[in-house]
Structure 1
Amino acid sequence: MTGATFPRLERGAPIASLIQVAGVHDLAEALALRAAGVHAMGLPLRLPVNAEDLTETEAARLVAEVERLPAPPLLPVGITYIADGAEAAAFCRALGLRRLQLHGPVTAAELARLRREMPNLFLIKSLVVRTEDNLPELLDTVRELAPLADAFITDTHDPATGADGATGRTHDWTVSAELARRSPRPVILAGGLNPDNVREAILRVRPAGVDAHTGVEGPDGRKCPDRLRRFVAEAGRGFAEAGQDAAHAGSGRTGV
């Protein structure tokens, strides 16, 4: 495991050196993540573009199975484009989720509604880096939603498919680096990360965590144990070399 302490993804707890992998099909894959040293697993559901890896019934069963595992834990994170606060709360309750990553165009009002319904829910909001420089727009989002979100995650937009995430593509890391530097909340880096580029990405962006999806899969579309181990090892190297800057990413050192 990377980092001095295990990142808990709980309200008020610091995030440092987090390693998350999204797109888990079943318990076998979840156990492969855990064995490799991954901290959190992302479960993408109710998606507008990409196919889902499992049904919501299967996801609820998997969340329950993973929550029962002994230490070290593997933290389930729901990933969805739901934009309605009440619907998002119902979704979390149905699946037994305590952590949610929102990728849709969620307004501050709906995020506040979700926060009122589930005050202890750990909320991660996406910041999608597009082909043009949309940094000013993303900084506005950070300013507006930081009082309600616990963390942000940067990801890549694919104009060919319309997907915001799970694209297998990197984006302009200078944008993510600026967001990580100026956000008052921790910023997790996603978008085209794999064992070959994650160390460099960490050193350039100084994020609080990293997230991979297709970059740790084999040709069959399932998570590859060797690629998972390499990803965790290279991410660990990057976080160790980045030192305290990475450990305290998202502290709002310069402000938005």
Structure 2
Amino acid sequence: MRVKICGMTNIEDALFACELGADAIGLIFYEKSPRYIAMEQAATLVAQLPEHVAKIGVFVKTPPDEIRQHITCLGLTAVQFHGDYPLDILAQFPRESVIAVARVGTDFQVQTLTQFHEVATAVLLDTQKRGLYGGTGETFDWQAAIDAKAFAKIILAGGLNPDNIAEAVVSVNPYALDISSGVEAAPGKKDKAKLRRLFEQLAPFLPNRQTKGFPFD
């Protein structure tokens, strides 16, 4: 199981998460997000990260050429597509580097995830909330994530924090976990005590573990 800490905006938080055992950090390139990071700042940040830690770029309705520019300049490991991207856009990128996103609401149908088989290596499930693309701080019914495992490699997101992370692992056992607002002191600023407690809660599920990034094997 992999652990991604998303919404990084500064090197201090990123390095601390890596020290605790994060396999990946998420960088949000959506200007309306309180966790937005400009490409210039991101370049300084990723240059100091351990080599084994994956760098995931999070994009919302960003044109493909602009995404490619970020990939080239930052050496991104994978790209996370929010905002109802058409499948033909996702198909322009190598499948092994594409994370599709499905927002789970009351009308979510797990069978719809089959559309991503040919274009994405994994699907991130997040809580559906109008006007927001991640960072809701709210969970959804995890039964949807359990059922979704039959249709895709699942990255579980949405309201995860030190208090519910163990239950999430036991209940869902996803390919990966994605945590953002649940370990923050404020939007874009991580809380070291929460991060430490998160990994303490995860320790029983990650015995003798060596971080290997997001190879999607």
TM-score over 0.5 for the alignment? Answer: yes
- 1:60-139 to structure 2, matched below 5 A, reads 60-66=43-49, 69=50, 73-82=52-61, 84-115=63-94, 122-130=97-105, 132-135=106-109, 138-139=110-111
User: Which residue does the alignment assign to 2:23?
Assistant: 39
Question: What is the Cα deviation at residue 46 of structure 1?
Answer: 2.2
- Pick the aligned partner of 1:173 from 138, 142, 151: 142
Percentage of pairs with the same residue: 28
Preserved contact between residue 64 and residue 89 of structure 2 (Cα < 8 Å) = yes
User: Which residue does the alignment assign to 2:115?
Assistant: 144
What is the SS of the residue equivalent to 1:114?
Answer: coil
Report the number of matched residues. 209
Preserved contact between residue 99 and residue 123 of structure 2 (Cα < 8 Å) = yes
Amino acid in structure 2 at the alignment position of 1:198: I
- TM-score w.r.t. the length of structure 1 is 0.74
**1:51 paired to 2:25:** no
User: Which residue does the alignment assign to 2:210?
Assistant: none
Task: Please identify the structure whose Cα radius of gyration is greater.
Answer: 1
Question: What is the Cα deviation at residue 20 of structure 1?
Answer: 0.6
What is the SS of the residue equivalent to 2:9?
Answer: coil
2: CA distance between counterparts of 1:227 and 1:62?
Answer: 21
What is the SS of the residue equivalent to 1:168?
Answer: coil
Amino acid in structure 2 at the alignment position of 1:76: K
**1:30 paired to 2:1:** no
2: CA distance between counterparts of 1:224 and 1:148?
Answer: 35
2: CA distance between counterparts of 1:54 and 1:104?
Answer: 18
- TM-score w.r.t. the length of structure 2 is 0.86
1: CA distance between counterparts of 2:62 and 2:86?
Answer: 8
Preserved contact between residue 193 and residue 215 of structure 1 (Cα < 8 Å) = yes
Q: Deviations over 1:182-230 (max 9, x none)?
A: 12x4211000000000111111122111111010112585212221122
2: CA distance between counterparts of 1:200 and 1:189?
Answer: 12
Question: What is the Cα deviation at residue 91 of structure 1?
Answer: 2.8
User: Which residue does the alignment assign to 1:201?
Assistant: 168
Preserved contact between residue 21 and residue 40 of structure 1 (Cα < 8 Å) = yes
Gaps of 5+ in 1: 1-16, 241-249, 252-256
- The structure 1 segments of at least 4 consecutive aligned residues displaced by more than 6 Å after TM superposition are none
User: Which residue does the alignment assign to 1:211?
Assistant: 178
Preserved contact between residue 8 and residue 35 of structure 2 (Cα < 8 Å) = no
Preserved contact between residue 198 and residue 231 of structure 1 (Cα < 8 Å) = yes
Gaps of 5+ in 2: 208-215
Preserved contact between residue 54 and residue 77 of structure 2 (Cα < 8 Å) = no
Preserved contact between residue 83 and residue 107 of structure 1 (Cα < 8 Å) = no
What is the SS of the residue equivalent to 1:218?
Answer: strand
Question: What is the Cα deviation at residue 166 of structure 1?
Answer: 0.5
- 1:155-174 to structure 2, matched below 5 A, reads 155-159=126-130, 162-174=131-143
